[in-house]
Structure 1
Amino acid sequence: MSGLLGAIEIGRSALRAQQIGISVAGDNIANVNTPGFSRRQAKLVTSEPAAGLGTGVKVTDVSRTRDQLLDAQVRFQNGLFGRLDTMQKAFATIEGIFSELAGSSANEAGAVFSQSSGVGLSGSLSRFFNAFQDLANNPESGSARAVIREEGQLLARTFLRLDDQLKNAQTDLESEFQRQVDQANALLDEIGTLNARVPSERFGGGGSSAPLEDRRDNLIEELSKLVDISTREQDDGTVTVYQSGRILVDHAAVSSLGRRVEVEGDAAVSRLTLASTGEALTLNGGSLKGIEEVRDTRIPDYLSALDSLASTLVSEVNQKHSAGYGLNGVSGTNFFDAAGTTARTIQVNSAILDNTDLIAASSDGTKGNNRVALQVSDLRLNRLFSGGTKTMEEFYSDLVGEVGSQAKATFSNLESQRVISEQLNNRRENVRGVSVNEEAANLILFQRAYQAAARIVTIVDEMFQSVLEMG
């Protein structure tokens, strides 16, 4: 009887194992189109023998099919892609600041228009110097002086609008930085929660931990798009997450990310820190790195270039203008307020706003003398930048060109990175993805094995009946 009992137990174990195999194959097929799903595999092992005889089969685990090296490569490339994608979007905004209409009409005060329209900063500079040329042609004209005053005001407002919009872009990036830090912390919390459940699911006999691990790894992948991270899987199935060598997740313990606000120029910007200690973390990838790079390096460079242009314009125009005489015979008047030497602060001297007769054309106060007006007009030809090789208009044109070049290079790098990321994802899907044909074949194998196991149980049952009838 003990032999028959052992045989029926072997049959029962085979039935259970094949049932699990059928369930796993069916689950794989059901999730063939589920994003982030890893193909499952039932691990079948021989049961411990008794008295030298086999005791059947058992399922020790339902594991995921993964390649940890490919996973690490995908996460690394995610960080590179996230950085470039964020930078490309930021550059699109900055290009718009320099090239798109900022107002509804060419007459709107302070509007920043494209260079090609003739009413952007380049156009404003050109019209300003043209107005002094018109004054040189008619040095006694009051209407020409009124035009100079208006063009000077529009030029100052254009500088201010550019400065405002670039700083607004910087502020928007700072807000996005804060939002993404909060998003990263939410992901870390959920990763820690899932981490805590994995060991009990894997080793506690409650079933497979594969669904939890898939969810956790998908969250880690989302995190890798925000901030560069590395991971290490532990023996108990949990994953330790690192950033800059600092542990962010260890089993269920989570170290949240924080922000330290620093003032740079007129802007308040955040630095990524470990919230518990305030220790600064170094960003090398992810969208947070892209934000940091544009917010803290590129935009300040553009603002500095605009300030340099405004400062040179104020200094050079005032130097020429203050040496001349207005219609009222007064000399020594600055055209621009001497205190306003940045793109934000440049403005026409309030005395000239009140009295255009102070606008100088003559070098000696004599009627018909136009030398100072010509000198101011000719400033457009003076090579005052880049070691005496660029005029003001060329300097600004180079700035706009630099923005465009950086945007184009970033877009090109982004597209190249997109291809690399897609290739890696395809390689990973070949490993972890579900093949419907393969799973259908597995179903047939498990079905036949189940039928054979059922036949074992039936035969042993018949043998039991025979033994009972003999008694």
Structure 2
Amino acid sequence: MPGINSILDIGRQALFAHQSAIEVIGNNIANANTPGYRRQEVRLEEAMAIDFYPGQLGTGVKAKEVFRHFDAFIEEQYNTRASLRELYDKLHEALQNVEILFKEGEDGGINKALAKFFSDWQELSQRPEDTSTRAALLGDTQNLLNAIHLTSDDLNKLQQQMDDFIEQDVDRVNEILKEIASINGKITVHEEPGKNNANELRDKRDALVRELAEKLDINYIDNGLGRVIITTKAGHTLVDGTSYFEIKFESPKVLTSLVPGSTFTDSIYYEGSSDYEYTVKVVTAGAANGTAQFKVSIDGGKTFLKDEDGNDIVYTADSYANRITLPNGDITIWFGDSSNSQNPATSNLSVGDTFTIIPKKGLYWYENSSSFMNITPQVMPDGSFNTRRVQGGSLGGYFSFRDSYVGKYKEKLDAFAKAIVWEVNRIHSQGAGLDKYTYANGTYGVTNTSIALGNYASGLSFGNKLQEGNLSLFVYDNSGNLVANGPLDFDNATAGIQNFDPNNHSLEDVRDAINNTFGTYISASIVDNKLVLQANTNYSFVFGEDTSGLLSALGINTYFQGNGANDIALNDFIRNNISYINAGHVNGAGEVNYGDNYIALQIAELAHKNVDIYTTIEGTTSQTLQEYYNSLVGNVGADTEMSEFNYNYNKTLADDLNSRQEEVSGVNMDEEMTNLIKFQNSYAAAAKLINVANEMVQTLISLR
């Protein structure tokens, strides 16, 4: 029933309500500069009215709840943009370091060293017999090799650095997931919707979610209380209420996916490392030790590796002895017993059986201790991200830089180095120097001496360059007289000279052809799976025209050795014997004339000649060596500019979204001071009301 006591209650409730408002305002002011703090406000609600004469009478005000100002829709947009911002920020930072490596200054660089290399061959063509010119050529060649090695080493170091950054981010992501799951549990305990809001816990959770979005791309679903679900954009659950699922950065793996009914019980194996993931898909059923066939993809099976002519490569599954070398030479693949990789597989493969080889450290999502999924960020050949993996955040930036960008630069630098090796060796191997050979050791070996050299299972680095043709040898006695010459005969039983066929002839066949053709003067053997030629007593030999590419592919009479940016080097024999630098050649009469510059001129002309250069991602291109290297430098510059543009674009959008969120949830000191005065006056008025009610009570008491 209304009365003086009701007035006292109205005043009392008003005091409590406005005191709560003042406390919340004070908390806002105190946390005005606290990162992640969202402005809070007391929701005031009219107290229950009482039906009475002359009508309903109010019973005052009550503080219904303390709520925070927060726009979930803007926050979701912000987290998406922040994830992309961090991706391109990390990518741009890293690419700037690569740009420095490829900066061609006046004092040096691969471009300048390459130009000097060809210039030296031009000088040698003018003075073929001059020792100082030959020495200068070797010195400048080493400068070129050092520049290539240094760039390659620095790219490798940048990749290793990314591994360290990834490790740190993965550890932090797992810490964040654990903290969010813990906070979800606390919110469920402490929060009662509409009455008791866990604002401080929600602020902490939102701050953690923001940090998580900066590490990887996420979806955030709030079902109320602590029933929050966080997944990657690809759908891998990271947090589900109080449960969380770890991600791990782990060593190389091989994943197997067999079609229903497949009887394959053995394993696929590999050696080597690569920046690509390889999908091996069986296309012809059969035994895994010599009958089944498969294709290999670097984009999850959308397209398959092609040869230099643009045709899909079909490989034959086989054992370790006949292991397949992939086109870029990074890894070899074979099938073997599940308990011993060196033993042949005994089961059959079915069409559709698929194996994923991940020859590098990758990112994995664990549903439980035994069930995991590969979520390593992957940039496809067309530049898009694999939508079934992590796509954003700093992790996306680190992985895409390590695998796609540096991986691409390394492969192109390797292809550039291989092209130098092959093109120079191809010419040099058909020439002659100042001295004749009594001993020649091949620098390139095979994995199986009985397999055709043009087969991918031979393991010969430049086996794909071999062609049908032949090579000529010239043999001399101690007096310098020509005693034998001509091409090799690869089949004595057939009339006439039978040429070399890369699809049929093995290293053993090459050895036999030399022994059968020139056995009286030269002994050919195979040592450590490499061809070795030894002149018999009182004889020496020189190499002539080679239409097959055998000499260059086997590393005999060559200028370079190695097959990539990491190991390209001067041929050890030439480094110690500069007289074996081939400036001239054997003429039609079997003579090596003093002052002949035929070979030196041809190598010098390589500076302006288009050559075919192959990479798995770009296929075959035809450019000069200098143009190809310049295209690599151009790729680095374009990628750096692209990452900078995308970073600035997404940063601008993220900053705008953050500003919009701050407009909603940020603390405005002017507004808080205004509210403080408002509620201070309201508090004073409520106190005055209590004072008036007290006076009314005193008046009534005095009437007695």
Task: Give the TM-score of the pair, scaled to structure 2.
Answer: 0.61
More helix by share: 1
1:208 offset after TM fit, Å? 4.9
The aligned counterpart of 2:559 is 336
Going from structure 1 to structure 2, the CA distance change for 1:46 and 1:328 (only over 3 Å counts) comes to same
Amino acid at match of 1:245: G
**1:77-110 CA-partner distances (Å, limit 9, x unpaired):** 00110110010011011112222xxxxxxxxxxx
The aligned counterpart of 1:373 is 600
1:423 offset after TM fit, Å? 1.4
Amino acid at match of 1:17: A
1:64 offset after TM fit, Å? 0.7
> Could you list the runs of 5+ residues in structure 2 that have no partner in the other structure?
254-272, 275-329, 331-358, 376-388, 438-541, 544-555, 587-591, 614-619
Alignment counterpart, residue 269 of structure 1, candidates 352, 361, 364: 361
CA contact (8 A) 1:188 1:254 kept: yes
**1:26-81 CA-partner distances (Å, limit 9, x unpaired):** 22233333332211110112334556654332222111111111011110100110
- Alpha carbon RMSD of aligned pairs, Å? 2.4
1:72-471 correspondence runs (5 A)? 72-99=76-103, 115-117=104-106, 119-203=108-192, 208-236=197-225, 239-243=228-232, 244-262=234-252, 264-265=273-274, 268-274=360-366, 276=368, 277-281=371-375, 282-330=389-437, 331-332=542-543, 334-338=557-561, 340-364=562-586, 365-385=592-612, 389-470=622-703
1:357 offset after TM fit, Å? 0.8
Going from structure 1 to structure 2, the CA distance change for 1:258 and 1:384 (only over 3 Å counts) comes to same
**1:352-376 CA-partner distances (Å, limit 9, x unpaired):** 1121111111122101111111111
**1:180-202 CA-partner distances (Å, limit 9, x unpaired):** 11111122222222222223433
- SS of residue matched to 1:279: strand
- SS of residue matched to 2:360: strand
Quick check: 300-309 or 329-338, which moved more?
A: 329-338
**What is the distance in 2 between the residues matched to 1:246 and 1:129?**
55
The aligned counterpart of 1:107 is none
Going from structure 1 to structure 2, the CA distance change for 1:5 and 1:388 (only over 3 Å counts) comes to closer
Quick check: 314-323 or 84-93, which moved more?
A: 314-323
**What is the distance in 2 between the residues matched to 1:304 and 1:334?**
27
Amino acid at match of 2:685: A
More strand by share: 2
Amino acid at match of 1:367: Y
Q: How many residues are matched? A: 455
Task: Give the TM-score of the pair, scaled to structure 1.
Answer: 0.90
Amino acid at match of 2:581: I
**1:197-228 CA-partner distances (Å, limit 9, x unpaired):** 22343329996522221122111111111111
CA contact (8 A) 2:433 2:585 kept: no
The structure, 1 or 2, with the larger RCO (C-alpha pairs under 8 Å, 6+ apart) is 1
**1:390-436 CA-partner distances (Å, limit 9, x unpaired):** 21011101101110111012112211222212111112211112232
CA contact (8 A) 1:140 1:327 kept: yes
Going from structure 1 to structure 2, the CA distance change for 1:286 and 1:165 (only over 3 Å counts) comes to same
**What is the distance in 1 between the residues matched to 2:650 and 2:195?**
42
**What is the distance in 2 between the residues matched to 1:143 and 1:47?**
104
**What is the distance in 2 between the residues matched to 1:428 and 1:409?**
29
**1:316-355 CA-partner distances (Å, limit 9, x unpaired):** 11121121111114433533355x1111121111111121
**What is the distance in 2 between the residues matched to 1:152 and 1:303?**
21
1:448 offset after TM fit, Å? 2.2
Amino acid at match of 1:165: D
> Could you list the runs of 5+ residues in structure 1 that have no partner in the other structure?
100-114
- Determine if the alignment matches structure 1 residue 45 to structure 2 residue 45: yes
CA contact (8 A) 2:558 2:571 kept: yes
**What is the distance in 2 between the residues matched to 1:138 and 1:424?**
70
**What is the distance in 1 between the residues matched to 2:226 and 2:673?**
29
**What is the distance in 1 between the residues matched to 2:412 and 2:374?**
30
Amino acid at match of 1:325: A
1:238 offset after TM fit, Å? 5.2
CA contact (8 A) 1:258 1:278 kept: no
**What is the distance in 2 between the residues matched to 1:123 and 1:272?**
44
Going from structure 1 to structure 2, the CA distance change for 1:133 and 1:13 (only over 3 Å counts) comes to same
CA contact (8 A) 1:274 1:280 kept: no
The aligned counterpart of 1:3 is 3
Amino acid at match of 2:129: E
CA contact (8 A) 1:336 1:346 kept: no
**1:140-194 CA-partner distances (Å, limit 9, x unpaired):** 1111112222223332332222221111111111211111111111222222222
